[in-house]
Amino acid sequence: MNLIIAGGGVIGLTLGWRLLKAGYRATILDRAEAGRGASWAAAGMLAGASELGPDDAAALALSSQSQSLWPSFKAELEAISGSDIGYRDHGTILVAAHQAALDALHDSHRFYTSQGIHAEFLTPSQVVEREPAMAPSILGALMCKDDIQVDPRKLVSALRSVFLMSGGKLMEHCAVEQVLTVDGRATGVSVNGSTLDADAVVLACGWETGSLLGGSFGSEALTPVKGQIVSLLTDVSLLHHVLRADDFYLVQRDDYEIVLGATSERGVTDLSLDERRLQELFERACRVVPGLRGAKIKDHWAGIRPGSIDGLPLIGPTDAEGLFVATGHYRNGIFWAPATAELILKYINGDVSGAGANAFLPRRFAA
């Protein structure tokens, strides 16, 4: 079977590689350079616990499947590509700097415990023992030791390599204009006025996927959420874990770089940078980690997260036979990429038994 994937972000590239391994032929089309959309902008937290709260029970199936897939996915990707993807499994510390945040941490702790997710409550002195750069004025924290992180730019570069090495065809600077259908079945796509035939098509264009769905359900369900983010350079390696508070996060890389994120601007699709927002983010982080004060700004960028109106991704078949969607991963696209690829592969194979998969079907928006 010959498959076309529209969109070469982390979702399209991971899926493309997975389909090749399963014996399919796969072509990825990207309107720009593959991997340079939201995936390039991400911080790279694989937050099996710390991203989830009591309202996110439906996302747990995808999170726990991704959590179990990541170690082997990483090992195979690094072995085949010969590239390091910045994988660190030191865990996340969720910090409460004020009473409302502490109450929310207690709620999260109860939720994690009820779901069998490991999380340990830490007193302020236990936090400072683990992270000496932290201000002792924090009220408490949760240690999520199973959380992981990767460097998303290294990740998408490695995925691009293994996709090509495995025989995939990548067409960059080729925007898919339309999905072509005959008698309700997808037969290919149009690109630059010409037709590319396919046995099945997967739309993985991030926040822009809706425009290709036409009037089909799901087209109105996507919502862009801009994120501005900054990387800082310090004189020493400041943090051992990913650190998250309710209004910022810090992700330490192996060198002296720390990524500080991120704004959340719903409905905004321009990539302009706002120094004032960056300064606010920096001030909030410095109150919790005073050692950041002397850090130098290395870079500042923005990306558009593919959000959805109910907060869950859209993964699965559409109302056209042979047309599938894989988008709406919002803040978790890097983390959920391996589980998404497995799920789409199942649908293409005609197996619809994925655990918890019904919650992600695009047709939930049909009404």
Ligand X SMILES: Cc1cc2nc3c(=O)[nH]c(=O)nc-3n(C[C@H](O)[C@H](O)[C@H](O)COP(=O)(O)OP(=O)(O)OC[C@H]3O[C@@H](n4cnc5c(N)ncnc54)[C@H](O)[C@@H]3O)c2cc1C
Q: Interface with ligand X by CB under 6 A: which residues?
A: 6-12, 29-32, 34, 36-39, 41-45, 175-176, 204-206, 208, 212, 227, 229, 261-262, 303, 305-306, 327, 329-335
Q: Which is nearer to ligand X, 103 or 274 (CB)?
A: 274
Minimum gap (Å) between residue 137 Cβ and ligand X: 26
Report in angstroms how near the CB of residue 361 gets to ligand X at its nearest.
17
Residue 236: what are its φ and ψ, rounded to 5°?
A: -130, 165
Q: Give the number of C-alpha atoms closer than 13 A to the C-alpha of residue 299, restricted to the C-beta side.
A: 8
User: What's the distance, CA 222 to chain centroid?
Assistant: 15
Q: Among residues 140 and 331, whose Cβ is nearest to ligand X? A: 331
For residues 10 and 93, which CB has a smaller minimum distance to ligand X in the complex?
A: 10
Closest C-alpha among 153, 150, 151 to residue 35: 153
**350 Cβ contact partners less than 8 Å away, ≥ 6 residues apart:** none
The secondary structure of 298-364 as a DSSP string is EEEEEEEEEEETTSS-EEEE-SSBTEEEEE--GGGHHHHHHHHHHHHHHHHTT----TTGGGG-GGG
Q: Residue 315 Cβ, how far from ligand X at the closest point, in Å?
A: 11
C-beta of 224 vs 354, nearer to ligand X: 224
Q: Pick the closer one to ligand X by CB: 100 or 297.
A: 297
Minimum CB distance to ligand X, residue 152 (Å): 7
- Please state the φ and ψ torsions of residue 304, each to the nearest 5 degrees: -110, 115
Beta bridge partners of 169: 27
Give me the residues paired with residue 304 across strands. Answer: 226
Structure tokens at 294: 């002397």
Q: How far is the CB of 124 from ligand X (least distance, A)?
A: 26
Residue with tokens 């309700």: 184
Write down the least CB distance from residue 364 to ligand X, Å: 18
Q: What is the Cα Rg of the chain in Å?
A: 21
Report, in Å, the least distance between residue 123 CB and ligand X. Answer: 27
- How far apart (Å, rounded) are the C-alpha atoms in residues 197 and 180? 9
Per the CB < 8 A criterion, the answer to whether 253 and 259 are in contact is yes
Distance CA 293, CA 289 (A): 8
To the nearest whole angstrom, how small is the minimum distance from the Cβ of residue 151 to ligand X?
11
Phi, psi of 223 (to 5 degrees): -140, 125
Crossing angle for the helix pair 60-81 and 333-348, to the nearest 10 degrees: 90
Closer of 6 and 142 to ligand X (Cβ): 6
Nearer to ligand X by C-beta: 140 or 325?
325
- Residue 140 or 225 having the CB closest to ligand X: 225
- Rounded to a whole number of angstroms, the distance between the first and last alpha carbons of the chain is 32
SS3 148: strand
